[in-house]
């Protein structure tokens, strides 16, 4: 099977179960990239040499089958540079797998919490770029598709990074189509997702809207900048990452106590101003009341403003050529 790059871009590849087994060395542990509740992801090399990610669904249960078909349905509708592309799907009585674009550099969670590789730390500029990549992807899901799509499980392990640390949103297993042109409409759903990243109205009432994704995004943004999980054991007695950051922002000099140490450097004050603005965006995204949260369009604009300000700050810090 040989297809040109144009053919691969335009549509699904035709892949058999037998080719998938060869591509993964019969789903060898050595090719395993990760595992979730419903699926295992393998690195796979197709017969024509193309490297892909094969997401193999674990069982034949109704819930798992639903997750497979839902992800096929959602991913076939989306085309965005920061959303992982579906290449093909394999389905028979015994095997169900999604064949996905291979993103080579792991997920954001791995990069945030790599302890033994300080040379690969994420810089402020890289984190801001990641935040904008993800915001633009979620904004596209909400406003750029025929029907709004809710991701509902946004978290660092569902954000992949390529060799240039550009970010890609993945894992649409519990995503939902709104089936309405009104982006603010609400629906109810069985509560699934990841604790700590789920909006209150979803966790308590099963009520979801585009603002549920905005909440999750806000928590991810706070985690990205503080390197503190929302489920961190240090948060107790009603404390959480949002309140912790909000209290630090209200006491201006405490902000450096919550920002990830890896972001602090000799450029200090100007960089911390930009980080504070990004943290404020995380705070407003994760407001308790969904009516008080911004839209993802607003979030993208806020972060682009942070980027613009940072570029101005950087230009002011460059040596003046006239003084050489």
Instruction: Give the CB-side neighbour count of residue 230, counting CA atoms within 13 A.
Output: 23
Please, are residues 210 and 185 in contact by the beta-carbon 8 Å criterion? no
DSSP class of residue 250? H
Place of tokens 């209290």: 247
Helix axes 268-285, 124-143, angle to 10 degrees: 30
Cβ count within 10 A of residue 14: 10
Q: How far apart (Å, rounded) are the C-alpha atoms in residues 44 and 99?
A: 9
Measured in degrees and rounded to the nearest 5, phi and psi for residue 188 equal -110, 150
Place of tokens 């629906």: 187
Q: Which of 197, 234, 244 is nearest to 219 (CA)?
A: 197
Q: How far apart (Å, rounded) are the C-alpha atoms in residues 19 and 129?
A: 37
Q: How far is CA 190 from CA 174, 206, 213, in A?
A: 10, 6, 16
Positive/negative CA dihedral, 157, 162, 165, 171: negative
**Residue 190 burial by Cβ neighbours in a 10 Å radius (0-12, 13-18, 19+):** exposed
- For residue 96, list its beta bridge partners: 91
Q: How far is CA 97 from CA 37, 65, 138, in A?
A: 14, 10, 24
Q: How far apart (Å, rounded) are the C-alpha atoms in residues 258 and 261?
A: 8
**Residue 262 burial by Cβ neighbours in a 10 Å radius (0-12, 13-18, 19+):** middle
Catalytic residue among 6, 47, 94, 153: 153
Is residue 274 annotated as a catalytic residue, yes or no?
Answer: no
Catalytic annotation, residues = 153
């Amino acid at each position: 099977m040989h297809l040109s790059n144009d053919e691969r871009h335009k549509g699904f590849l035709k892949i058999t179960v037998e080719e998938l087994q060869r591509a993964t060395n019969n789903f060898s542990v050595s090719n395993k990239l990760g595992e979730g509740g419903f699926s295992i992801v393998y690195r796979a090399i197709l017969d024509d040499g193309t490297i892909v990610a094969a997401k193999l669904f674990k069982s034949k249960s109704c819930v798992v089958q639903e997750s497979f078909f839902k992800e096929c349905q959602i991913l076939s509708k989306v085309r965005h540079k920061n959303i992982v592309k579906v290449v093909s799907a394999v389905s028979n009585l015994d095997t169900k797998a999604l064949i996905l674009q291979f993103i080579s550099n792991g997920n954001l969670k791995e990069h945030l919490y790599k302890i033994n590789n300080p040379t690969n730390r994420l810089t402020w500029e890289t984190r801001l770029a990641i935040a904008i990549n993800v915001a633009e992807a979620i904004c596209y899901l909400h406003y750029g598709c025929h029907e709004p799509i809710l991701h509902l499980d946004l978290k660092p392990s569902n954000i992949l990074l390529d060799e240039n640390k550009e970010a890609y949103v993945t894992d649409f297993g519990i995503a939902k189509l709104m089936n309405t042109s009104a982006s603010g409409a609400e629906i109810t759903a069985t509560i699934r997702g990841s604790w700590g990243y789920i909006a209150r109205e979803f966790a308590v009432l099963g009520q979801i809207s585009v603002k549920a994704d905005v909440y999750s995004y806000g928590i991810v943004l706070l985690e990205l900048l503080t390197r503190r999980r929302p489920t961190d054991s240090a948060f107790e007695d009603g404390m959480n990452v949002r309140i912790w950051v909000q209290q630090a922002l209200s006491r201006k000099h405490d902000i450096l106590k919550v920002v990830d140490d890896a972001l602090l450097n000799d450029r200090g004050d100007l960089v911390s101003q930009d980080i504070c603005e990004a943290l404020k965006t995380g705070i407003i995204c994760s407001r308790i009341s969904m009516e008080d949260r911004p839209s993802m369009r607003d979030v993208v604009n806020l972060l682009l403003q942070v980027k613009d300000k940072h570029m101005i700050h950087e230009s002011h810090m460059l040596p003046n050529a006239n003084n050489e």
